[in-house]
Amino acid sequence: MADEKSNAEAYWKANVRLIIGCLIVWALVSYGGAILFRPWLSGIPIGGTDLGFWFAQQGSILTFVALIFFYGWRMNKIDKKFGLEE
């Protein structure tokens, strides 16, 4: 019983760590890249516009989609590690 409890605690600790990491990336890209770092990124051209505008429009969306796939891939690995795979 104690072993199951410690296994569950380790599983949720890994899960929360992954979620916090994804949220940090999400915040840096959406808030940092699109708002805070926009003046410094404005001189870098990409796709016919500057990099700051690109982050605010397409870059944030693409990063969010990549985070969804990354989260799914990592959770599958965590599930296998703790014997909870489907």
Structure-block tokens of residue 86: 């489907």
* Of the candidates 35, 53, 57, 36, the residue with the CA atom closest to the CA atom of residue 44: 53
20-65 confidence digits (pLDDT tens): 999 999 988 888 777 787 788 788 888 788 887 777 777 788 889 9
pTM above 0.85, yes or no: no
**Backbone angles phi and psi of 49, in degrees to 5:** -140, 180
Give the amino acid at 65: V
